[in-house]
Amino acid sequence: MTARINLPTETDAEMTIRLLQAELEATNREVLALTVELESRVDERTAELRAAQQQLQKSNADLVQLTLQLEDRVTRRTGELQKTRDDLETRVQERTKELQAVNQELESFSYSVSHDLRAPLRAITGFTELLSQDYAAAMPDGARRYVEVIGQCAVRMKNLIDDLLAFARLSRQPMAKQLVKVSELVSEVVQELRRDQRQRQVQVRIGPLPDCEADPSLLKQVWINLLSNAFKFTRGRDPAIVEIGCRLDPAEPVYFVRDNGVGFEMQYADRLFGVFQRLHSETEFEGTGVGLSIVHRIVQRHGGRIWAESKVNEGATFYFTIAAPPQS
């Protein structure tokens, strides 16, 4: 009879321990695999970051170099612009001095010539009058006509000289600015024109005119010349209408004189304010062509502007401004 061998049986605790050990070994293997994979990824990412850092450092170096180059260019360009500006300012100052000197010479020349021409002109006028008075009966009709033409030309020459002297004096005359009651000044000028031209029937409409700071005598000359022209160029109109007013623009008040006279072509407007420039013949309207030049010079001396708008046979409007005094 064979003897039975009793093997020891595994307890539940031992089985549990064994299973746990197996699970732990499997977990360790998984953790190890994950660790290896993670380290691999970390190494890859580190390599990528290191490459990106190197690229960034290179880009920063390039940017720094570019910035330095740009700063150098800006510095050099700024220096060149400053030098150009300084040169330009110097040239402008030199040119301004040259123009001022030339203008002074021309004004002195105009004044001297105009003044010196008066003496021979007086002689021509005087001898022409003597011829007309003492020898008119003995002269044929043609000779009397010649003497009459000489007298008319002498009068015109006298008017030209007087206007030229007045124009030359404008730059010599010091300005005495003060508050001017423009409405009162314009009313005074209109009354003077009505007295001088009693035979004329001119409707004068005066709107509100704000006060300004200007030289009273010079500003009066502006109104005299503009209104005299308005009266003159409305001759033959029925009714003759002259409107005086002020347009209150945001920047500055704009005074104006408007008439319903003969007007002019706007393509010739740039000639209006030149010395001895005329848009109408002397047979149509008298004048020397200096009046608007005087107006232009006076307005400029006051820091203002002057311009005109017109249509043929529909009248003209002259606008001008007077610079406002500086605010304290």
Q: What is the mean pLDDT of residues 273-294?
A: 62
Q: What are the boundaries of each domain within the chain?
A: 20-172, 175-320
Q: Is the peptide bond before 239 cis (omega within 30 degrees of 0)?
A: yes
214 pLDDT band, cuts 50/70/90, is: very high
- Other Cβ atoms within 10 Å of 146 Cβ, number: 14
Token pair 């006076």 is found at: 298
Helix (H, G, I), strand (E, B) or coil at 327: coil
Tell me the per-residue pLDDT of 48-61, one tens digit each, with 9 for 90 and over.
888 888 888 888 88
Contacts 24+ apart (CB under 8 A), 300-308: 301/170, 301/175, 301/218, 302/175, 302/214, 302/215, 302/218, 302/219, 306/273, 307/269, 308/269, 308/272
pLDDT band per the 50, 70, 90 thresholds, residue 209: very high
> Which residues, including other chains, have CB under 8 Å from residue 316's CB and lie 6 or more apart?
233, 258, 259, 261, 263, 264, 308, 309, 310
Rounded to the nearest 5 degrees, what angle is found at the Cα of 29, between the Cα atoms of 25 and 33?
170
DSSP state of 315: -
pLDDT band at 227 (very low <50, low <70, confident <90, very high): very high
Question: CA 107 to CA 167: how far, in whole Å?
Answer: 9
CATH topology of domain 175-320: Heat Shock Protein 90 (3.30.565)
The answer to whether 154 and 125 have CB atoms below 8 angstroms apart is yes
* Cα–Cα distance measured from residue 291 to residue 166, given in angstroms and rounded to the nearest whole number: 10
Q: 72-115 pLDDT, tens per residue?
A: 888 888 888 898 888 888 888 888 887 777 667 766 766 666 66
